[in-house]
Amino acid sequence: MTMTWTDWQAIAVPLVLALGAITVLLADALWRTGSKQVRHTVITLITGAAILFGLAFIAVQRNSVKPAFCRPAVEGPAQCSLVFEPLTVGLWAVLLIGGLGVVGLSAYRLLDVDIPVGEYHFLLLSALTGATVLAGARDLATVVIALEVVSLPSFAMVALRRDRRGSEGALKAFLVSVLSTAVMLFGISYLYGVTGSLYLQTIVTRLPAIDPDLRRVAFAAGLFVIVGFGFKIAAVPFHGWLPDTYAGAPVEVAAFLAVVSKSAGVGGLLVLVTFGVAPSGSSLRTVVCILAALTMTVGNLAALRQAEAVRLLAWSSIGQVGFLLAPLAVGDAQAAVGYLAAYVVVTLGAFGAVAVVQRHRPAGLLTDYRGMVRSEPGLGVALVFFLVVLAGLPPGLAGLFTKFAAFQAVLDAHIGWLAAVMAVNVMIGLAVYLRWIAELFRLPADDPFSVDIENPAVAVISTCAGAAVVLSILPSTLFALVT
């Protein structure tokens, strides 16, 4: 099979990311002269350049459609493995912005000194490569491979600090991930057996017409694939690994998991649900609805009881993904990607703020944040704003309108019970974030938090806050990501 120019264009971004990954690894391994600061900065810049190339590429090409690695099908249009189209553009934008934010949070003096810089950025870029491929993948083999390319570097990143908690978290995530891949492969094999194809496009045309006896097999197969993804995005009841993994990982890596890894999983599931295994009207969509309801409720309820900032963010990210699964379940890509984008921006900011505080107060308790609005106004106000966006209340209109779009998608699909569950979860979610906001607004304790915040952290947090403000004033940008 020869590669056409379109193929090259469609994989340009993952390719550049992969090349960047190898470059930083080699640079770190071979270039031993120079101070640590210079090496760290150069590696950050290379990583950032690779990601910025991706962002520039999608900015230029956002309106084009490039089906790549196609082959003519027996019936219907050609089958393609990777498609660059508006949905891909939206997902890539979210993934790359998330990746860039994590790179910013991992700048010199921010990243833990025990973490090897080259490996860290290599793993980050590798995972981003996998994530971008996953968002464009249109056949099941590519989906599985891309998902593994996202997952494997993630465990390594969790364990990079090489302490007990990190290893435990990484091992948990690894075991769960292996299990979920096995489950997914099992489902895919059945799906192939039933439909005779791995291409999503062919599967979706053949599924309605299959032998009625095979219906249940096809349902089970789709269920296994969704359950596999459920592990990756930590949908309840497959979420057990997530809080320990987040808490064990360095904060930057937790941010990476919450932002890039999670978005990749959601993106993959979105592609699968909208294009493949669960076409509109399929009972698998009901399964995703039930997953959504469970995930948001359990995530938010558990978040209510957390006393540590990272664990609270971990559980609330489960709740957020539950909310995100609702528009996903009804196949509303626009609402889902908009939600994801708002979530990524403010989660990055919140983890950035947590990272600043945890560097000085390693316990990471919510009470460490007491009085921060007064003692450290910039950081305190930004954090309050991020939390308000996550809760979806004014002034965090970015969060409010993405929740609004999710409600609209669910109601338009006539799933009233899910909308009611979502309404209750808006309340529980608010209770979660209010606990934290209350600490921030209290009078400062005896020893209020006030430090010189490192410049890169200031830059990342204020960029996130600025972006969140802009998205709150012009929420339509969020929904313009997927047209």
Partner 1 sequence: MSWLLIALLAVPALTAALLWALPAGTGERVAAIVGSVISGLVLIGSGVLWWKLVRPDGPSVLTAGDLPRTLPGKVHGYAETDVSWIPSLDVRFHLGIDTISMPLIALTALLVFLCCLYSLRITPRAGRMRSLIALLLVIETGVIGTFSALDLVLFFLFFEVVLIPMWLVIDIWGDDHDRAGRRRAATTFVLMTVLGSALMLLGFLLVHRLTGSFDIEYLSSHPWRSSGGTGLKAALLIAVGLAVKMPLWPLHIWLPDAHAKAPTVGSVLLAGVLLKLGSYGMIRILLPVLPGDSATIAPYLGGLSTVAIIAGSLACLAQTDVKRLIAYSSVGHMGFIGLGIATMSPEGLTGALFANIAHGIITGLLFFLAGAIKDRHDTSDLRAIGRALYARLPRIGGLLTFACLASLGLPGLAGFWGEMLVLLGAYHPGNLLPRTTFLVFMVVAGIGTVLTAAYFLRLVRNLCQGDPAEYPAAAFAVDLSRIELIAWAPLIVLTVFLGLWPWFLLQYWTFL
Residues near partner 1, by CB under 8 A = 334, 374, 388, 393-395, 397, 400-401, 404-405, 407-408, 411-412, 416, 419-420, 422-424, 426-427, 430-431, 434, 437-438, 441-443, 475-476, 479-480
Yes or no: say if 262 and 317 are a contact pair by the CB < 8 Å rule.
Answer: yes
Q: Shortest gap between Cβ of 325 and partner 1 (angstroms)?
A: 18
Task: Pick the closer one to partner 1 by CB: 443 or 470.
Answer: 443
Residue 330 backbone dihedrals phi, psi, to 5 degrees = -100, 10
How far apart are CB 11 and partner 1 at their closest, in Å?
Answer: 30
Both tokens assigned to 228: 């596999």
Q: How far is CA 463 from the centre of its chain?
A: 19
Q: How far apart are CA 349 and CA 357, in angstroms?
A: 13
Integer Cα distance of 92 and 103 in angstroms? 16
User: Which three-class secondary structure state does DSSP give residue 82?
Assistant: strand
Q: Rounded CA gap, 303 and 237, in Å?
A: 15
What's the CA dihedral at 423, 429, 434, 440 to 10 degrees?
-140
User: Which of 79, 375 has the CB closer to partner 1?
Assistant: 375
Can the peptide bond before residue 279 be classed as cis, meaning omega within 30 degrees of 0?
A: no
359 class by beta-carbon count within 10 Å (0-12 exposed, 13-18 middle, 19+ buried): middle
| Token pair 């997530």 in the structure block, residue | 242
Output 252 or 439, the one with its CB closest to partner 1: 439
The two tokens of residue 188 are 């895919």
Question: Alpha-carbon Rg of the chain, whole angstroms?
Answer: 22
Kindly tell me which of 175 and 423 has the beta carbon lying closer to partner 1: 423
- Pick the closer one to partner 1 by CB: 347 or 472: 472
What number of other Cβ atoms are within 10 A of residue 344's Cβ? 24
Q: What is the C-alpha to C-alpha distance for residues 81 and 197, in angstroms, rounded to an integer?
A: 12
Nearest-approach distance from CB 279 to partner 1, in angstroms: 23
Instruction: Name which of 152 and 381 has its Cβ closer to partner 1.
Output: 381
Q: What minimum distance in Å lies between the beta carbon of 362 and partner 1?
A: 28
Q: How far is the CB of 322 from partner 1 (least distance, A)?
A: 15
- Shortest distance, position 399 Cβ to partner 1, whole Å: 11
Report, in Å, the least distance between residue 64 CB and partner 1: 21
- 186/404 with CB nearer partner 1: 404
Taking the complex as a whole, the smallest distance from the CB of residue 475 to partner 1 amounts, in Å, to 5
Tell me, letter by letter, the H, E, C secondary structure of 106-157: CCCCCCCCCCCHHHHHHHHHHHHHHHHHHHHECEHHHHHHHHHHHHHHHHHH
From residue 350, how far is each of 259, 332, 375 by CA, in Å?
11, 27, 18
